[in-house]
Amino acid sequence: MSPFYVVAVVLSLFAAAAHSWLGEKLILGPLLQGQPLPSVLKPAINRRLIRIVWHLPSAIWAASGIYILWAALAKTLSGETAIVLGAIFAVSGIANMAAVRRIHFAWATLFAITAALWIGASL
């Protein structure tokens, strides 16, 4: 297995765990437990939706990392698939960069995953 794919797996699982855990601790928890709640957050369905939407990228990153590991170990990870998976992480990094509008560890990590996948695909 390419060491670049190992880097992509480790970073994708790290990004997923950090995004979920830090998001709950620093953003979602305080936002959804604050009192008084803004009117848009009063319905329980809206609070559940925000939480699910927040964790969706984490789930996608974790699933992608697990797939990369499985496919690389099985020697079935094609270069084309690695490029497509890298593009998914690149889009995530671009979206994060646009949202935070400053240097941020998250988009740097997402772009590192992209680079590892694309370099691994080219070898």
pTM greater than 0.85 (yes/no): yes
Q: Based on the structure, what is the number of domains in the chain?
A: 1
Contact criterion met (CB below 8 Å) for 107 and 96: yes
**Confidence band, pLDDT 50/70/90 cuts, at residue 1:** confident
Contact criterion met (CB below 8 Å) for 109 and 8: no
Q: Domain residues for 77? A: 3-122
Q: What is the pLDDT of residue 20?
A: 97
Q: What is the pLDDT of residue 43?
A: 94
Q: What is the pLDDT of residue 35?
A: 87
> Where do runs of H (alpha helix) occur along the chain?
3-22, 29-33, 44-73, 79-100, 105-122
Instruction: State percent of the chain over pLDDT 70.
Output: 100
Rounded Cα distance, 23 and 38, in Å: 19
Q: What is the pLDDT of residue 78?
A: 96
Span 25-70, pLDDT tens digits: 999 999 999 889 899 999 999 999 999 999 999 999 999 999 999 9
